[in-house]
Amino acid sequence: MRGLLTNTLIGLLTIGMPSARCSALPPTDLSPAERVHAFYYGWYGTPEVNGQWLQWNHAVLLLGGKTGPNCQPPEDIGANFYPEAGPYSSRDAGTVARHCAELQRAGVGVVAVSWWGKDHVTDQSLPVLFDAARASGLKIAFHLEPWPGRDAASIRDALAYLLERWGSAPELFRWVGRPLVYVYDSYLVPDSEWKRLLRPDGDISVRGTPQDCVFIGLWVKEDHGRALAESGFDGFYTYFATEGFTWGSTPGNWPKMARFARRQGKMFIPSVGPGYNDLRIRPWNRKNYRARDGGAYYDAMMRQAVDVDPQILSITSYNEWHEGTQIEPAVPKQTAGRDYEDYGNLAPTWYLDRTRYWVDRWLHGSKGL
């Protein structure tokens, strides 16, 4: 699942100090659309398409690692908002074509798709997404998740699998000739493992091989950027839509992070979100709740991201409904025992159009309101 770090895990981060600096990324020009990425989740399923509900029936997660009852779709889903289109399958071609059209409407050019391993539902949904991206002109980047047993060797194997399957696809997003890959919770893999994989002198290094990519690690703690740089990462992103959840997801720190990235010859990719609400599946997590505030929360994060003028800006998220970070259209809905949140006086498509508003001002005009 997305979003929650424990203090224990954060405390286990090992900060690698300088040895030989890895080579910097050369500069490149991206099209305006390719500078805007949105995190996308292809893990949803319906009985009609998948033979069962997937993710919409998410279990309620209780304190102490216990699991409560599953949600009961289609009326009761594992989210605090309700999609305008209703619960859908990520393997439905019409649904995914609509998603691509909405992403284009928002000015997004790259879909950063969550991937949990070979034969996982997020893997099985890739053919439909690549077909839709081809038809719409969108690009796709992989967002590698922390599958069980993820380490340097399994990541290398995963890249070999993904790039053998999709490496020649014109829809695959590339930076100076290499696919760009986000690595969620990269801190869960020790720095020593990353050095084996990402540094040119690593014993299982991908550098200069068919598995070579532009690797973007998750910046969590204040000094984590140096650890990522010394481990061989090519850039950093912040992912979380909850301002202040981590040091890296605090927009007031983004100018400092951007300056560090430039000095290191790395990319800094801030992530902006419209709010955060996962209380349906994590009822104990109110401290990380962030209200949308009639769109003002999204505007504030967007403004601060645009002000650092990054090479790439990322959006958390297009459709992570469990955590309430979606910009996909949502509608008011009341059912027995449930009263879903919605976008208030804003149109269901407001966050799509507001994303386009900020993209246009960032890349084509004024940076302010």
The pLDDT value recorded for residue 259 is: 97
Distance CA 61, CA 73 (A): 17
The two tokens of residue 71 are 């949600």
Distance CA 361, CA 369 (A): 9
The pLDDT value recorded for residue 365 is: 80
Predicted confidence band of residue 17 (pLDDT cuts 50, 70, 90):
very low
Q: Which residue has the higher pLDDT, 6 or 292?
A: 292
151-200 per-position pLDDT tens digit: 999 999 999 999 999 999 999 999 989 999 999 999 999 999 999 999 99
The pLDDT value recorded for residue 24 is: 56
Please say if the pLDDT value at position 147 is more than 60.
yes
Q: How high does pLDDT run on average in the chain?
A: 92
Please say if the pLDDT value at position 45 is more than 70.
yes
Please say if the pLDDT value at position 9 is more than 60.
no
The pLDDT value recorded for residue 65 is: 80
Average pLDDT over residues 119-135: 98
The pLDDT value recorded for residue 222 is: 95
Please say if the pLDDT value at position 307 is more than 60.
yes
The two tokens of residue 14 are 């090992």
Please say if the pLDDT value at position 25 is more than 80.
no
Least reliable range by pLDDT among 77-91, 226-240, 330-344: 330-344
Long-range contacts, stretch 344-352, CB < 8 angstroms, 24+ apart: 344/292, 344/294, 345/294, 346/294, 346/295, 348/84, 349/102, 349/105, 350/295, 351/106, 351/274, 351/295, 351/298, 351/326, 351/327, 352/102, 352/105, 352/106, 352/327, 352/328
The pLDDT value recorded for residue 21 is: 37
Please say if the pLDDT value at position 19 is more than 50.
no
Predicted confidence band of residue 289 (pLDDT cuts 50, 70, 90):
very high
Share of the chain above pLDDT 90, in %: 87
CB 64 within 8 A of CB 23: no
Average pLDDT over residues 253-279: 97
Share of the chain above pLDDT 70, in %: 91
Predicted confidence band of residue 4 (pLDDT cuts 50, 70, 90):
low
Please say if the pLDDT value at position 32 is more than 90.
no
Kindly give, in sequence order, each residue whose CB lies less than 8 Å from that of residue 365, ignoring residues fewer than 6 positions away. Answer: none
Distance CA 248, CA 251 (A): 8
The two tokens of residue 314 are 């990322």
Kindly give, in sequence order, each residue whose CB lies less than 8 Å from that of residue 12, ignoring residues fewer than 6 positions away. Answer: 187
CB 105 within 8 A of CB 356: yes
To which H or E segment does residue 221 belong? none
The pLDDT value recorded for residue 28 is: 63
Whether the pTM exceeds 0.75: the reply is yes
CB 116 within 8 A of CB 55: no
